[in-house]
């Protein structure tokens, strides 16, 4: 059987377990070849007080051109953190070039958390991100990103399940077949993942909240979903596996007092993602 390939359009961050440092090993464990397409290079992610940030926008076209010349094809394209608004157009061109009938496109609209945008995200970038949504088969926003994509005020972050359902329906109207809203706080002790698939009843995957919120959790969840879904699992099962995998990693971090910005110690449980 031909081995699958997934393009990972994301930043490369040395320290802090996010983006390609997380998605590449996770995808590889699921026997999918990971092909990194860097959007920025950082020494540490933007939740640290200090970090080196090199926007890769000026180099991306040349980088991608070689893949065009090589006539590469991809079974999956997963996009994450983008470093500039111009990158959105580059990513759209990448998808238009490489998306074939059966190529799965997952867009993780990495923009912010807890009602706040990340430091490198400008309003213009957020507006641009809205264009990217229409190219996604799968979208994995958190609540902050869901609100931002729909121009809805985050307020205190308290939304009813019905409201979240309506927001997903509106966003799905723009293109994506499947949406999971990740990391929704529920009654203080739990975290809800709201799963919306077109023409299906919405479903919920609940996990216990363990300790503090940890950066990089979204990258772990979206890459497990991307890999499992590409390997033939249903969207619901992919989310379930991803949520329970992330929970296990978070529990380990709590028990070992890993600082919250160091990301999830996914290495400890990678083998649980192995496929036959
Ligand atoms: O985990 C999301 C993420 C990815 N990449 C960079 C980030 C963050 C979140 O802070 O800073 C560079």
**Residues 176-186 pLDDT 10s:** 999 999 999 99
pLDDT band at 244 (very low <50, low <70, confident <90, very high): very high
Cα(124) to ligand 1 centroid in Å equals 18
How many domains in the chain?
1
**What is the DSSP secondary structure assignment for residue 142, as one 8-state letter?**
B
Q: Is the pLDDT of residue 1 over 90?
A: no
Which SS3 state, helix, strand or coil, does residue 227 take? helix
pLDDT of residue 120: 81
Decide: 159 in ligand 1 pocket, CB within 6 A: no
Quick: pLDDT tens for 41-99: 999 999 999 999 999 999 999 999 999 999 999 999 999 999 889 999 999 999 999 99
What pLDDT does residue 119 have?
81
Question: What's the CA-to-centroid distance between 216 and ligand 1, angstroms?
Answer: 7
- The CA-atom distances, in angstroms, between 163 and each of 143, 152, 156, 196, 206 are 11, 11, 14, 13, 18
Whether residue 234 is contained in a domain is answered as yes
- The pLDDT value recorded for residue 188 is 83
pLDDT of residue 121: 86
User: How much is the mean pLDDT over the chain?
Assistant: 96
> 239-245 — which CB contacts under 8 Å span 24+ positions?
239/180, 239/193, 239/195, 239/205, 240/205, 241/273, 243/191, 243/193, 243/205, 243/207, 244/207, 245/220, 245/221, 245/269, 245/272, 245/273
Determine if ligand 1 sits within 6 Å of the CB of residue 11.
yes
Q: What is the pLDDT of residue 276?
A: 79
Assess whether the C-beta atom of 140 lies below 6 angstroms from ligand 1: no
From 38, 110, 121, the mutation candidate for ligand 1 (largest count of ligand atoms within 8 A of CB) is 110
Whether residue 273 is contained in a domain is answered as: no
pLDDT for the residue numbered 245 = 98
- Domain annotation covers residue 94: yes
The average pLDDT across 220-236 equals: 98
Q: What is the pLDDT of residue 173?
A: 96
Domain that holds residue 47: 5-264
Ligand 1, atom 6, lies closest to the CA of 45
Report yes or no on 271 lying in a domain: no
- Measured in angstroms, how far is the CA atom of residue 242 from the centroid of ligand 1? 18
pLDDT of residue 241: 98
Q: What is the dihedral of CA 132, 136, 139, 141, to 10 degrees?
A: 0
Q: What is the pLDDT, as a whole number, of residue 123?
A: 85
Query: 162 in a domain, yes or no?
Result: yes
269, part of any domain: no
> Residues 92-150: pLDDT tens digits?
999 999 999 999 999 999 999 989 998 888 889 999 999 999 999 999 999 999 999 99
pLDDT at 91: 97
Asked, for residue 270, whether it belongs to a domain, the answer is: no
CATH of the domain at 131: 3.40.1190.20
Q: Considering the domain boundaries, does residue 274 fall inside one? A: no
């Amino acid at each position: 059987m031909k081995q699958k390939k997934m393009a990972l359009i994301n930043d490369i961050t040395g320290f802090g377990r996010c983006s390609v440092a997380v998605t590449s090993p996770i995808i590889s464990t699921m026997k999918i070849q990971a092909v990194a397409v860097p959007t920025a290079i950082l020494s540490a992610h933007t939740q640290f007080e200090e970090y080196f940030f090199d926007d890769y926008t000026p180099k991306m076209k040349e980088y991608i051109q070689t893949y065009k010349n090589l006539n590469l094809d991809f079974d999956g394209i997963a996009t994450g953190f983008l470093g500039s608004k111009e990158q959105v157009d580059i990513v759209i061109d990448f998808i238009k070039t490489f998306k074939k009938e059966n190529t799965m496109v997952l867009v993780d609209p990495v923009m912010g958390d807890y009602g706040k945008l990340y430091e490198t995200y400008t309003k213009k970038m957020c507006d641009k991100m809205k264009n990217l949504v229409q190219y996604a088969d799968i979208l994995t926003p958190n609540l902050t990103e869901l609100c931002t994509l729909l121009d809805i005020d985050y307020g205190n972050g308290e939304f009813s399940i019905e409201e979240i359902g309506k927001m997903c329906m509106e966003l799905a109207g723009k293109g994506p077949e499947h949406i999971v809203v990740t990391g929704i706080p529920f009654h203080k002790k739990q975290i809800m993942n709201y799963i919306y698939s077109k023409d299906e009843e919405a479903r919920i995957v609940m996990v216990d909240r363990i300790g503090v919120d940890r950066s990089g959790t979204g990258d772990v969840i979206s890459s497990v979903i991307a890999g499992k879904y590409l390997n033939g699992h249903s969207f619901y099962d992919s989310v379930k596996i991803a949520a329970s995998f992330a929970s296990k990693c978070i529990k380990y971090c709590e028990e070992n007092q890993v600082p919250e910005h160091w990301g999830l110690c996914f290495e400890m449980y990678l083998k649980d993602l192995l496929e036959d």
